[in-house]
Amino acid sequence: MEQQIQRLREVRRAASLGGGKKKIAREHEKGKLTARERIALLLDPDSFQEFNMLIKHNVGAPGDGIVIGHGTIDGRTVCIFAHDATVFGGSQGYYHGRKVYKIHEMALEMGVPLIGLNDSPGARVIRPELAGSDDPYRISDEKSAGVVFYINTRCSGAVPQISAILGNCTGGSVYSPALTDFIFMVDNLSRMFITGPRVIKSVLGEEISMEKLGGARVHCQVSGVADFRVGSEADCMRGIRRLLSYLPQNWREKPPFKEMGDPDDRFSEKLERIVPLQPTKGYDMHLVIEDIVDGGEFLEVKPEFAAEIIIGFARLGGYSVGIVANQPRVRAGCMSMDSSDKQARFIRFCDAFNIPLLLLVDTPGYLPGKEQEYAGIIRHGAKVLYALSEATVPKIALLLRKVYGGAALGMGVLPGFGTDLIFAWPTAEIGAMGAEQAVALFYADEIKNSADPQAFQARKVQEYKTLYADPMALASDVTYIHDIIEPRETRRTLIKSLRFVEGKKVGRDPKRHGNIPL
């Protein structure tokens, strides 16, 4: 027995080095960590249990280019895989694909989050001279790379799926992360694209670097494919740990409660100074969020993409909430095609995982213009209406200053979207458009022909505001606004409301599934 144990130890020791010390050194020279170093950095110390380390070790390819297993983060179990770039460059072969499938299946069966640390060029390419040969390195099933997409989709909405891009990921290796819930990318390290610079040059004659084609900045600011851009692999692992702290283990559970030491009945004294009275004047909605939530801690998702809408996670009274807020500082808070996609996907994630939604509303409407209409703002905006209507988690809305036109639909502040509680500040306005715009539209001739156009216009604007934009009149005439509150009461009101709607139970109509306007 002692000899067998000794042999096992030697084989495992060699397998733990993947492609060997020289290839590990090469990865370090590129400023990259190895697969097992990344896992060790992310998980709690000594919590990782690896599976199938010895696959293909007898042909010098231990693990077939991927490391899989389970461990804990802050004591909570997760399943994890990490591409091993020291073995076949982390490319996807048959056993590689089976291991990926297996760890996803385990996450689904155990009801735990699945984390993927991606560093793969995609499907393994067979040299023509080896095709059909008995070479032990060649892929034995070229279709194996596709199995992960199926299991990604099965996991979707059942367990949280988080991806980190930690190298050059191309082809099929970018579709799997795109099917997951959140993607992290590291500046000057992470790149994603379907076809690389060489192919683009050969087909289109265009020269472009990998960084400009698919770097972290591109996908976090321009394409919106990725959700978080960080400065290093260590920052990435910290970000994943922080994100998980807001999420449940699976769709059957609620997110973990965390006492932050911030009194539930604390008044939000800064809010009156943060938000200007003039509805056309900008301000930073982040300051409002930070003053309301527990400890001022807010984890923003997609902060660089479609910044006219803010989405992210925070806590209120210790409970995890998903926040959707207009940002008056960007495009005056107008809603757009891109912001609609961003908002709808986030709402659907929160609904899938029992995370209540808080809607902070201050927008003049949807962004006007030919560009938005041609790009399909109707279709993209409809995604938001679908997501809001579909969501059965608790939904609370707060109208800070204004909401005009279709934006009242897109922010769920009109009846019919299942928003459980709607509050407004004394500065709130709801209407088809702003008072100034309405008067300019309806009284253009009268203003022009009056003895004092400026005074006439000002009087009509005030009349319009009194009739249609006075929250006191709104509170008197409608029942869907549940209360007008002082800004300073915001935090305590929201926490009381969250506890009230916490036990809400609403079932969906039985059917296969709806047809969201993708």
- Which residues are tagged catalytic? 171-172, 406-407
Do β-strands 114-118 and 76-83 pair in parallel, antiparallel, or remain unpaired? parallel
3-state class of 96 per DSSP? helix
Q: How far apart are CA 202 and CA 492, in angstroms?
A: 61
Asked whether the beta carbons of 84 and 19 are under 8 A apart, the reply is: yes
Asked whether the beta carbons of 45 and 2 are under 8 A apart, the reply is: no
Phi-psi region of 416 (alpha: psi -120 to 50; beta: other; left: phi over 0): left
Q: How far apart are CA 7 and CA 146, in angstroms?
A: 36
Give 30's contacts (C-beta < 8 A, 6+ positions apart).
none
Residue with the two structure tokens 């290093």: 232
Q: What are phi and psi of 358, to 5 degrees?
A: -115, 120
Q: How far apart are CA 492 and CA 60, in angstroms?
A: 62
Do β-strands 182-186 and 168-170 pair in parallel, antiparallel, or remain unpaired? unpaired
Q: How far apart are CA 149 and CA 12, in angstroms?
A: 30
Do β-strands 309-316 and 319-326 pair in parallel, antiparallel, or remain unpaired? antiparallel
Q: How far is CA 43 from CA 115, 237, 240, in A?
A: 11, 9, 10
- Residue 133: strand pairing partners: none
Tokens of 389: 């209507």
Provide the angle, in degrees to the nearest 10, between the axes of the packed helices 147-155 and 94-110.
10
Tokens of 369: 């213009």
Q: How far apart are CA 500 and CA 458, in angstroms?
A: 43
